[in-house]
Amino acid sequence: MDELQSLLGTYIAALERGRTTASPKERVDYDQRLAAAAAIGAALQRRDAKELKRLVDQEERAAGWGFLVGKDGAAAEAALTQFVYRARMSGATFAA
């Protein structure tokens, strides 16, 4: 779980960096993604595999429907991809 917390932290940091340089319209997207990341973090802390899977799937879909602009946005997308991969490979999203 420590690795997943670290990867989620990387994702959140990338989102925060991108938000600081985003236009007001783009900040809405960053705010939505930050809220989703916070919910993912809470599910991870509770070790709620079912909810974690639902939230990770939801966030991955959201990333697929829209993208974050610029190099900071690309860094956030890459961090999310890495987090999703490790969450699934670690078994953290497998409901018992």
Q: Which regions of the chain are under pLDDT 70?
A: 66, 92-96
Q: What is the pTM of this model?
A: 0.90
| Coil, strand or helix at 67 | coil
Cβ–Cβ under 8 Å, residues 7 and 53: no
> How do the domains of the chain map onto residue ranges?
2-90
Q: What is the CA radius of gyration of the chain?
A: 13
Among 1.20.1270, 1.10.357, 3.30.70, 2.60.40, name the CATH number for the domain at 2-90: 1.20.1270
Residue type, 53: K
State residue 95's pLDDT score: 54
Locate tokens 């600081």: which residue?
20
